[in-house]
Chain A
Amino acid sequence: MLTKINSFFGSLGKTFRDCMGELSRIRKLMEEFFYWGIIAPFTGKRGIGRENFARQLTFMGNESLFIVFLVSTSIGAVLALQAAYQLKQFGALLYTGALVSVSMARELGPVVTAIVIAGRVGAAITAELGTMKVQEEVDALTTMGIPPISFLIVPRMLAIIVMLPVLTCLSFAVGIFGGFLVGSLCLGIDANLYMKASFDALVAKDILTGLAKSFVFAALIGVIATHTGLSVKGGADGVGKATTQSVVASIISVIVADGFCTAIFFYVF
């Protein structure tokens, strides 16, 4: 019995120590990111690598457009249908547009875009960095006197922090468009009335809330994806595991952070 208790506390202690170690490595990564991403460019020590940054912006933004459009239009359309199903019982079908636009701005736009980007971009970042790590490319950078955080992490983190809010705005717009298509073509709501209801219901706070959330999600996905990528050990097996871990951890973090953010905006602002 005593052995079992000892072993339980032993494994608990080990898990705690591992978690602390992981947190300390994430803190170090963040410190280095702030140094190379914010301080170093302003002090003239080292730029952010404009070429690399532009490449990442294209990859994260341009190449994600289609999937974000497709998913957001579908979500907007489905939301309109589900809302109409309930609202028509109260004769309030016209409010479908309002419900879709507010939901897309405050909740679904940021969350859905973040989940799509976690799956598409987060996974790609982890897999790429992990492969570079196991193929000694990260060591090669260090040996050349090029700080890997500056060369690899800064452009990716900055690109995701810029691109996720942009994609969130687009997702919000096409989500409303998806709802509009269903509302005007399937539910028989007058197109002008639908759009008026959609925009009348929106206030600046709704859009700002969504944008603030998307910044938080971008930072979370960026940190998780880059940290997991740089922590890869072993070969292809390690890269595969890290990529799965990165996507799962990013999606869970986005959903949990969404809960916190919604609560903060609801009670504080």
Chain B
Amino acid sequence: MKQVIQIQNVIKRFGDRAVLNGINFNIHEGETLVIMGGSGCGKSTLLRNIIGLMRPEEGRIMIFGKDMASAPDEERNQIRKSFGMLFQGSALFNSLTVGENVALPLKEHTQLDEQIIKIIVKVKLELVGLTGFEGLKPYEISGGMKKRVALARAIALDPKIVFYDEPGAGLDPITASVIDHLIMDLSKKLKMTSVVVTHEMKSAFRIADRMVMLHQGRVIAEGTAEDIRNSTNPYVHQFIHGEMDGPDHFQKTRDDYLKGIFGNV
């Protein structure tokens, strides 16, 4: 299967702390890959490195054969036209209407006529189930609708890859499920590769063709949903079952508390 993204030995440090510590994996064309892991494991940092909001200290991030990590700004902007991104908080522009938000990448990157852009915007909004909402401002619609508008904006230029950062965050379970189905539906209909960063297990297992699990800046498991479910790695087991006890333990003994407060006295 053709690989659209290759992540090779990516290292990202903040000060002395390596948040990404030698990440390696590939993303195949047309698949939905879920990157998961606990809070602070480096999954959002990895995503920011892939989309070029940060540069890693070491390693290569090849998107369609071009290295996002070392490309100059102008080339990175060219690479960015081949993908869309759905931000955790939607990141819609409040000064623009829903329609103008979706039209923005089209106006900026194409020479299309105003009328054609209007039609494309209608089609994209129809795809996410928001026909007729063009004239509203983002603050006039609900959180779930904002996510759908952001999704319509992400697919405005018919990208080959779409990145999703915590698509279900802050949504009720039903709306989160609607968004998950939308991701699956659009990936199939538009033949897109989807890369989803999440820590919500239900959603992850629902949408993933493959999964990558990060822990302390490293990939600790990679495979299909079934592979991950049957993983013998104790941390993976603890994470997907949401257990308190395991390699990462949060329960403290009386001595641990005392040690934490007074040190080793």
CB of A119 within 8 Å of the partner chain: no
Residue among B87, B92, B109 making CB contact with A139, cutoff 8 Å: B87
**Does chain A have a CB within 8 A of B137?**
no
Which residues on the A side are within 8 Å of B104 (C-beta)? 144, 146
Residue of B nearest to A128 (CB): B95
What chain B residues lie within 8 Å of A135 (beta carbons)?
Answer: 89, 91
Residues in A neighbouring B51, C-beta threshold 8 A = 143
Q: Is there an interface contact between B78 and A137, defined as CB atoms closer than 8 Å?
A: no
Contact A145 B77 (CB under 8 A): yes
Q: How far is the CA of A144 from the CA of B95 in the complex (A)?
A: 17
Interface membership of A140, Cβ < 8 A: yes
B21 contact set on A, CB distance < 8 A? none
A144 to chain B: which residues have CB within 8 Å? 80, 85, 104-105, 108-109
Contacts of A132 in B (CB 8 A): 93
Minimum C-beta distance from A17 to chain B (A): 15
A128, A136, A146, A151: the one contacting B87 at CB < 8 Å is A136
**Chain A residues whose C-beta falls within 8 Å of the C-beta of B91 in the assembled complex:** 135-137, 139-140
Judged by a CB distance under 8 angstroms, whether A142 is at the interface is: yes
CB of B224 closer than 8 Å to a CB of A: no
CA distance A137 to B85 in the complex (A): 12
Residue B81 interfacial (CB < 8 Å):
yes
Taking CB atoms, residues of chain A closer than 8 Å to B95 are 128
A147 to B105, CA, bound (A): 12
Which residues of chain B in 26-48 are interfacial with respect to chain A, using CB atoms and an 8 Å cutoff? none
Once the chains bind, are B53 and A145 in contact (CB under 8 Å)? no
Q: How far is the CA of A128 from the CA of B73 in the complex (A)?
A: 25
Size range of the chain B interface in the assembly: 20 to 34
Interface string of B136-162 (1 = CB under 8 A from A): 000000000000000000000000000
Known: A145-B77, A147-B77. 18 other contacts (CB 8 A): A128-B95, A135-B89, A135-B91, A136-B89, A137-B93, A137-B94, A140-B91, A140-B93, A143-B80, A144-B104, A145-B81, A145-B105, A145-B108, A145-B109, A146-B104, A146-B105, A146-B108, A151-B108
Chain A CB within 8 A of B238 CB: no
Complex-state Cα separation, A151 to B89, whole angstroms = 21
Confirm or deny: B9 has a beta carbon within 8 angstroms of a beta carbon on chain A: no
Interface residue? B88 (CB, 8 A): yes
Question: How many A residues face the partner with a CB closer than 8 A?
Answer: 14
Name which residue of chain A comes closest to B104, CB basis: A144
CB-CB < 8 A to B53: which residues of A?
139, 142-143
* Per-position 1/0 for B205-248, Cβ under 8 A of A: 00000000000000000000000000000000000000000000
Chain B: CB-nearest residue to A51: B107
Contacts of A145 in B (CB 8 A): 77-78, 80-81, 105, 108-109
Q: Is the CB of B87 within 8 A of A142?
A: no
Chain B residues in the interface with A (C-beta under 8 A): 51-53, 73, 77-78, 80-81, 85, 87-89, 91-95, 104-105, 108-109
> Which chain B positions have C-beta within 8 A of A137?
91-94
Which residues in A have their C-beta under 8 angstroms from that of B81?
145
- Give the distance to chain A from B130, nearest Cβ to Cβ, in Å: 18
* Highest count of chain B CB atoms <10 Å: which of A128, A132, A136, A140: A140
| Interface bits A124-156 vs B (CB < 8 Å: 1, else 0) | 000010001001110110111111000100000
Contact flag A136-B93 (CB < 8 Å), given A144-B80, A144-B105: no
Complex CA–CA separation, A49 to B45 (angstroms): 32
Q: How far is the CA of A143 from the CA of B105 in the complex (A)?
A: 10
A-side contacts of B109, CB under 8 Å: 144-145
Give Cα A140–Cα B105 distance, bound, in whole angstroms: 11
Return B84 CB to nearest CB of chain A, in Å. 8
A147 to chain B, nearest CB (A): 7
B89 to A: closest C-beta gap in Å: 6
User: Top 9 nearest A-B pairs by Cβ distance?
Assistant: A140-B91, A145-B80, A145-B77, A136-B91, A143-B85, A136-B87, A144-B105, A145-B81, A137-B91
Given the complex of chains A and B, what is the CA–CA distance between A135 and B88 in angstroms? 9
CB neighbours of B88 from chain A (8 A):
136
Q: Which residue from chain B places its CB closest to the CB of A45 in the assembled complex?
A: B74
A128 to chain B, nearest CB (A): 8
A262 to B92 Cα, complex, angstroms:
45
B248 to chain A, nearest CB (A): 28
Contacts of A146 in B (CB 8 A): 104-105, 108
Across the interface, which residues of A come within 8 angstroms of B85, CB to CB? 140, 143-144
Name the CB-closest residue of B to A52: B95
Asked if residues B52 and A142 are in contact (CB atoms below 8 Å), the reply is yes
* Complex Cα spacing A69 to B167, Å: 49
Question: Closest CB-CB distance, A125 to chain B, in whole Å?
Answer: 13
A89 to chain B, nearest CB (A): 56
In whole angstroms, what is the CA distance A132 to B87 when docked?
13
Contact string, A210-236, partner B, CB cutoff 8 A, digits 1/0? 000000000000000000000000000
